[in-house]
Amino acid sequence: MCPFRMKMISSGRSSSMASESYEDDLVHPAPHASTLHHASPMALASPLEDDNLLQEILLRLAPQPSSLPCASAFCKRWRGLITNPRFLCRFYAHHRKPPLLGIFESHNARNRFMSTLDHYDRIPPERFNLQRHDNYPKSVLDCHHGRVLLKYWVREDLVVCDPITGGQHHVPLPSKFKGVFVSGAVLCAAGDQGHVHGGCHSSPINIVLVSTTKDIRALTCVYSSKTGLWGNLVSTSTPCQLFVGRFPGTLIGKALYWPLFTPDKGILEFNLEDQSLAVIEGPPLKNNFDMGNIWIIQAKDGVVGLAVLSYPFFQMWQRDINFHGVATWVLQKTIEIHSIVGLPPEIGRETGARKTIVGYSEDADVLFILVDDNLCMVELKSMQCKRLYENSHSHSYYPLTSFYAPGDFLSMVIIL
């Protein structure tokens, strides 16, 4: 039984009678004796009898997978309101940011879904099986706006999967990106006012690929599902060595960012609006670090930032631009690793334990850190940690954020 119903209904005869009484009081509250003869019929009506007021209440349910199905099970009237496509659009617009449903672990061509939710919201791995259509080996390149971008190992093409609906979209690789290591990003291309990414499953998409040319320059190209074509090739004007393959693009505002081999010397920026490619200066990192201990993040005020895990500290940098247009890196936060509540004790050892940043979600603002074989999720705002899984071995995890209501609601979200 879902948690919503458990709060409303108890087991046993006496509790059943109490539940019926409670439900009657909820819909038809007893008026005070002193005011009964003065009350109008409208005044005696419960706010829950007004469909408009009830919808305003239901809009504020948590955007977790179990919320709407459990509320719809309360009664037929509630179900009719909740399953209305217009209500679902309003529900997504009210919450704006979709919830973090889980992560895809990409390891040796096996792409396993791992839920990050608890109890009734937990999604079984087989529900989001990316191999349901074929068993060809492929690796995840990116996951944004409820879609997953994968590249086949042998075949020279890509496939975009929608885990919610099971839909697929195959895209051939452009010739310049065949036979080389690539990184990429998949993004919803809808730009309508009020559109909510992660709440739609029929909007057009864009794919951004990035790689390194033979003369050590970054090269990018954009695919549009509206036209079914790849756009013009764009490269950097100066040489740079891109760290291709392991890092998906971090989406911050209207730009995507990838790290170079030495982020203190530069970060690759791709402007989505004018489709320009540039190398921006990185922060002045002083401590020794490796590429497993840095990740590009969205800092406060929606600017590009960098998370650095370097024993015994965890640092967060952000790039600020002053009134004169001059960009400087500012050390926003430095905390001791020991003070991150919930991290396994192994992380405090200077040697021995493996400590690697393996993923990041812009929507949820959380980092995924691998401590030995323990996969942990750290909320950057509160610096609280949640241990997710043991025996994790991959170096690449791709968060899935999307609105999702299982069951009959799937037929509703497809037509939005």
Number of neighbouring beta carbons within 10 Å of residue 88:
20
Report all structural domains of the chain as residue ranges with CATH numbers, in order of start: 3-94 (no CATH), 96-413 (2.120.10)
Tell me if 390 sits within 8 A of 372, measured CB to CB. Answer: no
The pLDDT value recorded for residue 264 is 64
Q: Report the distance separating Cα 299 and Cα 398, nearest Å.
A: 19
Q: Report the distance separating Cα 28 and Cα 11, nearest Å.
A: 23
The pLDDT value recorded for residue 2 is 53
pLDDT tens digits, one per residue of 186-202: 999 987 777 888 888 88
- Please determine, for residue 17, whether its predicted confidence score (pLDDT) is greater than 70: no
Q: Of 4-8, 158-162, 243-247, 306-310, give the lowest mean pLDDT range.
A: 4-8
The pLDDT value recorded for residue 416 is 37
**388 is written with which tokens?**
């997710």
The pLDDT value recorded for residue 216 is 85
Residue with the two structure tokens 């940098």? 317
Q: Is the pTM of this model over 0.85?
A: no
- Given pLDDT bands bounded at 50, 70 and 90, which one contains residue 414? very low
pLDDT tens digits, one per residue of 123-150: 999 999 988 878 888 899 999 999 999 9
Average pLDDT on 326-348 reads: 83
User: Of all residues in the chain, what percent carry a pLDDT higher than 70?
Assistant: 82
- Given pLDDT bands bounded at 50, 70 and 90, which one contains residue 342? confident
DSSP state of 89: H
The pLDDT value recorded for residue 27 is 40
- Given pLDDT bands bounded at 50, 70 and 90, which one contains residue 346? low
Q: Report the distance separating Cα 402 and Cα 144, nearest Å.
A: 9
pLDDT tens digits, one per residue of 147-174: 999 999 888 899 999 999 889 999 999 9
Tell me if 72 sits within 8 A of 78, measured CB to CB. Answer: yes
Q: ∠ CA 294-331-361 to the nearest 5 degrees? A: 45
The pLDDT value recorded for residue 232 is 95
Q: CA dist 211 to 26, 100, 314, 368, Å?
A: 61, 29, 30, 25
